[in-house]
Chain A
Amino acid sequence: MTPSVIELPVSAADRRVAWLAALAVGLSLIDAAVPSPLPGVKPGLANIVTLLVLYRYGWATAAWVSGLRVLAAGLLLGYFLAPGFFLSLSGAVCSLLVLGTARHLPARWFGPVGLSVLAAMAHLGGQLLLVRAWLIPHDGVFLLLPLLATAALFFGTINGLIVARLLAGPDLQESFHG
């Protein structure tokens, strides 16, 4: 009797998504290790990967990488299906939706920095709306908005600059294709 073998064809694109998602998960872990002065204020380093992928491989790949990152980081950090997971998910979905629109802005005027800030703001907005609707049903949560928006602005700018630097650098051209 020959054992039947189920072959799942893995394309180069699949491998690429897996590699990039793994990279994003690594950055998420660093993110979680950085002490935060206020819940919700985080560098969001994984967004660097999302944005890079958006520029390099398009929106669909970015959505895959982002979704896998949320799932795997949730499992690794132990908050899978806990409130934090859904906050992470709603933030990722909102920022992907905004990036999906913002990437059509003329590239002459809008670069990675602008997109990164928009994504960070959308991330914050998605999370805060979920918190308001589900976890803390009181308008008082919006009092945190200016503080969180300042953090999103700051980290969004830095992440965007990193993406711009990586996109400009020649040393990155081939490293993701391997």
Chain B
Amino acid sequence: MPDLRPWLAFIRPGDWLILCLGAAFAASGFAGWMGGGVGERVLVRQGGQIVADLALHEARELTVTGPLGSTRIEIADGRVRVAADPGPRQYCVRQGWLARPGEIAICAPNQVSVQVQGRTRLYDTLGY
């Protein structure tokens, strides 16, 4: 084992700060991997059944029919939203664009949900 002490003398206090910040940055990135990372797929459910499993990076529109009428879902620029829904309170429409894994918009009256998924799933299922 060579003596590393003369080399350590070259590292000044601020350098240690930079090294620590860099290490923290890299570590937080690795932690992000564990947390699901980037959204990749869109799961659309109607009445609890998966009716569509789409890629988040392919722009398209989809209409799902529920008890109240049709819910329009739009995928564009790597994100997804409920563009129109017949529900009275419009919660899922007002939620806007979703892109991160685990994010979900639920149009309960029409029994439609739109969920973003990453490579790893954060949980098996969600009951509502």
Contact = CB atoms under 8 A, between A and B. Distances in A.
Interface string B6-42: 0100111111011100110111111011000110100
Interface string B96-115: 00000000000000000000
A111 B29 contact: no
Given A139-B38, A149-B26, A111 B10 contact: yes
Contacts of A176: none
A44 interface: no
A113 B12 contact: yes
Contact of A118 (B18, B23, B37): B18
Interface of A is mostly: helix
Contacts of B38: 139-140, 142-143
B18 A114 contact: yes
Interface string A108-139: 11111110011001000000000000000011
A108 B29 contact: no
A99 B15 CA distance: 14
Interface of B: 7, 10-15, 17-19, 22-23, 25-30, 32-33, 37-38, 40, 57, 78
Interface of A: 105-106, 108-114, 117-118, 121, 138-140, 142-143, 145-146, 149-150, 152-153, 156-157, 160-161, 164-165, 168
